[in-house]
Amino acid sequence: MDNKKYFHALQILEDNCTGCTACVRVCPTEAIRVRDRKAHIDPNRCVDCGECIFACQFHAIIPRSDPLDLIHNFKYKVAIISTSYFGQFTEDISYEVAKQALYELGFDDVQEEAMVTEFMVKVIQNYIRANRDKRPIISSNCPTVVRLIQLKYPSLLPNLFHLEAPMSILTRYLREKIQEEKGLKEDDIGIFLIVPCAAHVTAVHQPEGAYKHLQDGAFSIGMIYGKVREHIKNLQNNPPQIATYPKGLTWALSGVQAELVDCEDIRALSVNGVENVMEILSRVEDHYLDQYDYIVMRSCTNGCVGGCFNVENPFVAMSRIKKMIKEGENGEVDIHELEELYDEGEFDVAPLTPRPIMELDTDIKAAIRKMKQLNEILTSLPGLNCSACGSPSCYALAEDIVLGKATIEDCVVLLKRHSKEDEQDPQQK
């Protein structure tokens, strides 16, 4: 594992943190420990799933995204919107208005993830057919899922779909196209994502497998929401005429996306929610799900509509987007330029490296010794899994002790028992 510090789009506000350990207990990779009454995140283990953000009642863990002012550093400013954005508004607000409002924020160009959905579906189907030896293929769109696989299921790295996610594909395409058409230098163009979750912010700042410069920043849907709403109010009297891509909005909905790829010779499965994703990954690892050709995996409920930056409930947002898909008609999308770039291999990603976190030691015999030690420690711990020590479970504390990250004195329950014994002892004598 390289020692490069891993960037994460999460911040702990120490002043707010009470050390309650709610976050410690929900983290799927056991990345959080409370030490000295404050929560700390191990950057090598965090996968930006956002579970801890939802769990903290004290608003001590907050997702970060870039400040909107960043766009002023660039001559030409481009926004690429995640499809989940369009599920955030009441139904009296039209798709066109919601999209136009983004121009009003100061962007010169606004493009949608939804634009390339159809292209993506084709490319995914081709990839699945061309790689019959790998089953199932796992979608690579959700950065949390990609990182989970690197950390906990590295044997599945070859199963990941080996192309950039739609917003990155659009980025590559637009960067070239705008340079050509507008006669601008690469550095003059700022390309930004408007994203539904912290994982996408991390992916922008620390892309996995990217060959070259992708985006220049990521803005949270929640952060721009207030400003967007103001612009929407003004725009509603005078609705704009701009192209929209309702049929492509499927991308934000894990189930609907899987249905699009599913066809006569391709069987697709859709999974969402980080617990479900982990269970399915474990079964894929054991080859129990080889009957599927493709598995769409999203860490958030229902897909990207469940991301922590959204303002609307994921089920309501999903229902709104489904309505738009049903009622809308797509604008023209010319995909032949995209296809050319695809043929040239422009959208390929580098093979990802494993970042194993589970191993006690790289040498199996040493690992067994540590495991033996771990088990011995475990038998002396109370087995309450109370997390009062700041580790997620007694097992995790034992592991922390073996790895030199904690001591047995961290166990509050043992400490109490010992001090009681000490109190009683003199009386008995």
Partner 1 sequence: MRDFAAARSEMAEYWHIRLGLEDPVKKFFSQAPEADVTLEADIPEKDFNSAGRGSAEVKNLLKRLGVDPEVLRRVAVAAYEAEINVAAHSLGGSMTSNIHPELIHMVFQDNGPGIADIEQAMIPGFSTADEMVRELGFGAGLGLPNIQKNADALHISSEKGDSTCLEIIIYFKNDGQ
Binding residues for ligand SF4, rule: CB under 6 A, are 10, 12, 17-23, 26-29, 31-32, 34, 39, 41, 46-52, 55-56, 58, 60-61
| Residue 177 near residue 305 (C-beta atoms within 8 A) | no
Closer CB to ligand SF4, residue 134 or residue 147?
A: 147
User: Pick from ligand SF4, partner 1, none: which does 61 bind, CB < 5 to 8 A by kind?
Assistant: ligand SF4
| Residue 152 near residue 175 (C-beta atoms within 8 A) | no
Residues 114-133 close enough to bind partner 1 by CB under 8 A: none
User: Pick from ligand SF4, partner 1, none: which does 256 bind, CB < 5 to 8 A by kind?
Assistant: none
Tokens standing for residue 335: 């995909």
- For residue 132, give the 3-state DSSP assignment: coil
Q: How far apart are the C-alpha atoms of 274 and 226, rounded to whole Å?
A: 29
The distance of closest approach from Cβ of residue 201 to partner 1 in the complex, given in angstroms and rounded to an integer, is 29
Closer CB to ligand SF4, residue 18 or residue 330?
A: 18
Closer CB to partner 1, residue 136 or residue 217?
A: 136
| Residue 216 near residue 174 (C-beta atoms within 8 A) | no
The distance of closest approach from Cβ of residue 181 to partner 1 in the complex, given in angstroms and rounded to an integer, is 47
Closer CB to ligand SF4, residue 123 or residue 274?
A: 274
Say whether residue 154 binds partner 1 (CB under 8 A): yes
**Residue the block writes with tokens 């050319």:** 340
Closer CB to ligand SF4, residue 351 or residue 356?
A: 356
H-helix or E-strand containing 111?
A: strand 109-112
| Residue 84 near residue 256 (C-beta atoms within 8 A) | no
Q: How far apart are the C-alpha atoms of 27 and 274, rounded to whole Å?
A: 10
What Cα–Cα distance (Å) separates residue 264 from each residue in 122, 238, 318, 377?
Answer: 14, 45, 26, 54
Q: How far apart are the C-alpha atoms of 419 and 413, rounded to whole Å?
A: 10
Closer CB to partner 1, residue 151 or residue 197?
A: 151
User: Pick from partner 1, ligand SF4, none: which does 304 bind, CB < 5 to 8 A by kind?
Assistant: none
Residues 257-316 close enough to bind partner 1 by CB under 8 A: 282, 285-288
- For residue 76, give the 3-state DSSP assignment: strand
Residues 351-380 close enough to bind partner 1 by CB under 8 A: 356, 358-365, 367-369, 371-372, 375
The distance of closest approach from Cβ of residue 54 to partner 1 in the complex, given in angstroms and rounded to an integer, is 25
- How many helices, marked H, and strands, marked E, lie in the chain? 15, 11
Closer CB to partner 1, residue 101 or residue 401?
A: 401
User: Pick from partner 1, ligand SF4, none: which does 362 bind, CB < 5 to 8 A by kind?
Assistant: partner 1
Instruction: Provide the 8-state DSSP code for 348.
Output: B
**Residue the block writes with tokens 């907050």:** 62
Interacting residues with partner 1 (CB under 8 A): 152, 154-155, 282, 285-288, 356, 358-365, 367-369, 371-372, 375, 399
